Structure formats: structure tokens, C-alpha cells
């Protein structure tokens, strides 16, 4: 599984997310209480439009993530159902290394985050 950004389910621009509002929380044992700010809207290579958010989370510890699992037929067509983790890894990474772990469609999100952290408007 390639790297992914957590997804959220609201178009608001600055909202204290309730635990039920954060897809990452559904996929892990984390209980989030962070302020988020809309980073931007991005078109993926598939054509899907996604909205990304950024958050200041000084208490976030990636090593504390414990993934939930989801059932899926594997191998496809076999009739066998296996459980797979929603999240396979979480790490703090330098920007250059992070770019090698993300899928192509997520790189513009990193660009927007770098600009935001540098104080530029996105």
C-alpha cells in the first residue's frame, strides 16, 4: 500500500473536528482533537476531486497508531475473505523522502503544504 493522507468528510475551512468527522479516526485507534485548516482542492489523476486539510498536532505520535481492519475477498474471485489493515504505517518524514512514498496525485498536496508552512498563500 502506498502512502496516503487521511481524508475528512466536511467542506468547512476551520473547524474543530469531532471524532466522528475524521476518517483517520475510523481507520485507527487515534482520538483526534485538533484544529484543521483547509489546504486546498486537488484533482487526482483519476479525475476525482479531493479536499485536503492541515492541522497543528503537537501531541501526535505516529507510533501510537493502531489500525482497524477491513474484510476483502482475496485473492479476487476465490471466495476467501481476509482482513487487511486500513493503515499500514505512519511516520514523520523529511519532505524529500515523503515525496518518494506518496502516489503521484498526492504530490501537489505536499507542494501546497510546503507553501503554507513557508508563509505563502496557496
Helix (H) or strand (E) holding 25: helix 23-27
C-beta separation of 7 from 23 below 8 A: yes
- 3-state SS of the chain: helix, strand, coil percent to 5? 25, 30, 45
Please report, for residues 18, 25, 96, the alpha-carbon distance to residue 33 in angstroms, rounded to integers and kept in the order given.
7, 11, 28
Whole-angstrom distance, CA of residue 101 vs CA of residue 46: 19
Domains of the chain: which residue ranges? 14-117
Helix (H) or strand (E) holding 42: strand 35-43
List per-residue pLDDT tens for the chain, 122 residues long: 344 454 444 444 444 444 334 555 566 655 555 667 888 999 999 999 988 888 777 777 888 888 888 999 999 999 999 999 988 888 888 999 999 999 999 999 999 999 988 886 55
User: What is the distance of C-alpha 121 from the center of its chain?
Assistant: 22
Amino acid at each position: 500500500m502506498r502512502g496516503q493522507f487521511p481524508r475528512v468528510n466536511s467542506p468547512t475551512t476551520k473547524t474543530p473536528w469531532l471524532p466522528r468527522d475524521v476518517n483517520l479516526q475510523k481507520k485507527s485507534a487515534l482520538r483526534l482533537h485538533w484544529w484543521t485548516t483547509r489546504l486546498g482542492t486537488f484533482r487526482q489523476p483519476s479525475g476525482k476531486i479531493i479536499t485536503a486539510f492541515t492541522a497543528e498536532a503537537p501531541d501526535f505520535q505516529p507510533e501510537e497508531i493502531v489500525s482497524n481492519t477491513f474484510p476483502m475477498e482475496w485473492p479476487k474471485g476465490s471466495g476467501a475473505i481476509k482482513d487487511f489493515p486500513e493503515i499500514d504505517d505512519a511516520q514523520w518524514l523529511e519532505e524529500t523522502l515523503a515525496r518518494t512514498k506518496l502516489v503521484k496525485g498526492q504530490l501537489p498536496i505536499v507542494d501546497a503544504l510546503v507553501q503554507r508552512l513557508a508563509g505563502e498563500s496557496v
